[in-house]
Amino acid sequence: MLKQRRDSLAQYEKAKRQDLAEQEAFEIKLIQTYMPQPLTDAELADLIKSAISTTGATSIKDLGKLMGHLKPLVQGRTDMRALSANLKQRLTQ
């Protein structure tokens, strides 16, 4: 939801529609007050390390198992695409 709002804000600013940009910025701030706090990089790294040891993941074939384990823990608190990329990087090392 916030990602779409931020995209809209960027488009309004690009089109020099300051009135719509201000309204969108206000709504983004309002929505953020109700959203859970995003995970820090350190918190996410700890969760990933714990999930890898818990699931016994050792290769990229275990990505689905890891995502299934982590999704309920991080949903709404981190970008899932970034999480997937991070996991792929760790599993291919």
**Residues 64-84 pLDDT 10s:** 999 999 999 998 899 899 999
pTM: 0.69
> How much is the pLDDT for 76?
86
Q: Is the dihedral of CA 73, 74, 80, 86 positive or negative?
A: negative
Q: What is the mean pLDDT of residues 55-68?
A: 93
Give 40 or 1, the one with higher predicted confidence: 40
Where do the domains of the chain lie? 2-34, 41-91
Q: What is the CATH number of domain 41-91?
A: 1.10.10.410
